[in-house]
Amino acid sequence: MPVFEYAPAPESRAIANLKDHYKPFVDGEFVDGSGEPLKTINPATEEVLAEVGTASKSDVDTAVKAARKAYNGAWSKMPGTERAKYLFRIARLIQERSRELAVLESLDNGKPIKESRDSDIPTAAAHFFYHAGWADKLEYAGYGANPRPLGVAGQIIPWNFPLLMLAWKIAPALATGNTVVLKPAETTPLTALVFAEICQQAELPPGVVNILPGAGDIGASIVEHAGIDKIAFTGSTEVGKAIQRQVAGTPKKLTLELGGKAANIVFEDAPLDQAIEGIVNGIFFNQGHVCCAGSRLLVQESIAEEVLEKLRYRVSTLRVGDPLDKNTDVGAINSAEQLAKIRGLVESGDAEGAQRWTSPCPVPERGFFFAPTVFANVHQSMRIAREEIFGPVLSVLTFRTPDEAVAKANNTPYGLSAGIWTEKGSRILWMANQLRAGVVWANTFNRFDPAAPFGGYQESGFGREGGRTGLEAYLSV
Amino acid sequence: MRISVAKTYKLYIGGKFPRSESGRVYPVTDAKGKFLANAAHASRKDVRDAVVAARKAFPGWSGATAYNRGQVLYRVAEVLEGRRDQFIAEVSASEGLAAKKAESLVDAAIDRWVWYAGWTDKIASVLGSANPVAGPYFSFTVPEPTGVVGILAPQGSSLLGLVEVLAPVLATGSTAVVVSSAERPLPAITLSEVLATSDVPGGVANILTGRASELGPWLASHGDVNALDPTGAAPAERVELAREAANTVKRVLTVPAAEPDWTSAPDLTRLRRYLEAKTVWHPLGV
């Protein structure tokens, strides 16, 4: 069969309107943060994209005061019907600027443009649309007659879905009448600051949304600030635990969306071609930088060889490279630090005796890239089966019976997501019942929607985002 | 003159009534200081045994039909009603209340138990949802029990408070390890006897008599406890308990500094706290 090479199909980066300098957004204005400016880089090329002003502790204080003033003033007194219109405006503006945001996101984060364009940005807009409609219907949400906002929400988001995580945090907070101080991740602050422009365009009252770029210490300052009523954090379990400890004994309400080590379980009667696509999507989507990634593949023993063979073939067709190329399947690893973490864990897999297979695909010489990797002969005790790798690395284990699949799937302190592949409906429902995870995807994987609650069990955190359930995180109930 | 039979009570773990592993007991007195009985003084090992029992009971209890759980919990209320006079006497003695006041508290506790029993087969339809997602998928969300819940029962309200912290845990399908009020444990001990002689499977509710300050840290740090209710801990101790609990990302109930008025009408708050939301997705197609 002849092989048809792809011609490069790069998206123009001009539409990103990349600026040399970005600034923190406080009280409706872009301000010179008094923190040390940081340089954000393009992980695909290692070139500096822009200089970003960061916040200091005193900026956190200023932002919290601005948010409090906005909360006491315009925002909490405004009727829900009016708040709703602001959220609708924001949603529309995100749609209108979606190409710009998608390209900027791919530049800053390293994710393939087809994912930022088709998934991240449209879903971010959808979150504002969805929550806009809640703003004037909160008394119907099932939390009593007069659900009240909490006040000022401090929100800390990760680098894997910069704008989408912002939307998950800000949309429900504003819909329920809270004001926010949000810290984007150190390595991916750009789209959050364009979002700040969108807030200006939407004429959102000053102080309702404040965006403070910075490192972990600024996150910590937000967490400990006495003027904050609620902390919402998405990120690593380690940091989540530290935040839970820090918040202990304060009146702050806390929700945590932490790590995962999802089992993706394939039974012998599964629709195999669909399952292979689902497995690939489950672990290689967004370079595996997904807290709910299907990083532990559990295959029924009778089909393990066949699945591995099909999987290796399929994975070898994934194109790794320029995130802005529309044909790219796997983009760049977000940072040198993350690349080093992935390498370290992969080495532990080698050392502990798992059988490594790496896609023979070409990998760019510059930039942070990691070729898709599949480990076979993985045992439950290995680090690659227990720890979150947060990269394009899949660990394959086997099982014989549904009970064994459940036992192995649940053998983790995490409980964020799980996948089930089988044609048998009753088995899907039984498995879905048994699995201790906040989201269960059956014959599909990595589906998200603002109307569907998302969140974890046990060490994957508490609280939900999305749906009626997600409103609870921002209401005094 | 008749000499009364002085009682030495035991713990309630896994459906059985063992002595404390430590062999310790402590005297229980009424509100005026008159000796009532000896209660077992639970130890760290007793906490661990109780957690093991609660974990073992969890699959069966959480897997039971909601209808069945409702029937079992209603049966508890029936047996509670049958022991009404004993509870009134014990609440009256423990809390130093006039019989009339104790009677109304006991009645409220029984009624509260019935209220929670009725929630077992309704909570999923109230808190669950069919999610109208923008794609060809069937998506729904169901509440599921959190798991093993460690409860430091209120120190003041010996029965009504105890019921208010325990019943919602059991109604939602979680299992419980409870440390009773230290100074007022008799209603908790009698409730153990009620649970043992109704249809609640052994291990679903485990009741330890002892000190919250001693046992709380072990519950908070235990890796197999999923949630913690620190109501009965001294306010000064709660911060440390919450910090311990963070090591396993336990759900820690937010409780008011002072013991609330348990006679005020309950709402869904405590039921909601012991539930996880699970969202399930499946493609639509033919």
Residue type, B81: E
Residue B286's pLDDT is 84
What average pLDDT is seen over chain B? 97
Strand-by-strand arrangement of the A48-52 sheet? A21-22, A48-52, A38-41
- Write the pLDDT tens digit of every residue in A410-424: 999 999 999 999 999
Query: Residue B178: CA atoms inside 13 Å, Cβ hemisphere, count?
Result: 35
Rg over alpha carbons for chain A, rounded to the nearest Å, is 22
Q: Which amino acid is at A429?
A: L
Confidence of residue A148 (pLDDT cuts 50, 70, 90): very high
B125 touching A (Cβ < 8 Å): no
Share of chain A above pLDDT 70, in %: 100
Q: What is the pLDDT of residue A2?
A: 74
DSSP 3-state of B194 = helix
Tell me if residue A214 falls in helix, strand or coil: coil
CB A55 within 8 A of CB A25: no
Domain boundaries, chain A: 13-257+457-476, 263-442
How far CA B52 is from CA of A470, B150, B244, in Å, comes to 33, 12, 19
A430-434, Cβ contacts within 8 angstroms, sequence gap of 24 or more: A430/A402, A431/A265, A431/A402, A431/A405, A431/A406, A432/B278, A432/B280, A434/A406, A434/A410
pLDDT digits (tens, 9 = 90+) for B147-167: 999 999 999 999 999 999 999
User: Under an 8 A CB cutoff, do B245 and A126 touch?
Assistant: no
- Distance (Å) from the alpha carbon of A197 to chain B's nearest alpha carbon: 28
How far A89 CA lies from chain B's nearest CA (Å)?
20
pLDDT for B219 beyond 70: yes
- Of the residues A105, A115, A186, A257, only one is catalytic, namely A257
Q: For the domain bounded by A263-442, which CATH number is listed?
A: 3.40.309.10
Does A257 qualify as catalytic in the annotation? yes
> To the nearest whole angstrom, how far is the Cα of B193 from the nearest Cα of chain A?
32
Point out which residues pair with B45 in neighbouring strands.
Answer: none
Taking only the tens place, the pLDDT of each residue in A156-187 is 999 999 999 999 999 999 999 999 999 999 99
CB nearest B246 (choices: A241, A413, A455): A241
B64: DSSP letter: S
| Comparison of pLDDT for A325 and B1, the residue scoring more | A325
User: Which residue in A245, A444, A457 is closest to B281 by CB distance?
Assistant: A444
The C-alpha atoms of residue A61 and residue A191 are separated, in whole angstroms, by: 23
Predicted pLDDT at B260: 95
Q: Which of B134, B248, B280 comes nearest A449 by C-beta?
A: B134
The C-alpha of A365 sits at a distance from chain B's nearest C-alpha, in angstroms, of 39
pTM above 0.80, yes or no: yes
pLDDT of residue A1: 64
The pLDDT mean for chain A works out to 97
What would be the CATH architecture of the domain defined by A13-257+457-476?
Answer: 3-Layer(aba) Sandwich (3.40)
Residue A130's closest CA among A167, A181, A182? A167
Residue, of B206 and A146, whose pLDDT is higher: B206
User: CA A158, CA A120: separation in Å to the nearest integer?
Assistant: 14
| ipTM, 2 dp | 0.96
A469/B272 touch (CB, cutoff 8 Å), yes or no:
no
Angstrom CA distances, B182 to A59, A382, B28, B213, B229, stand at 48, 45, 9, 10, 16
Interchain CB contact of B281 with A (< 8 Å): yes
Q: Is B141 on the interface with A (CB under 8 A)?
A: yes
B249 → closest Cβ in A256, A447, A467: A256
Crossing angle for the helix pair A98-109 and A121-132, nearest 10 degrees? 120
A74-127 pLDDT, tens digit each: 999 999 999 999 999 999 999 999 999 999 999 999 999 999 999 999 999 999
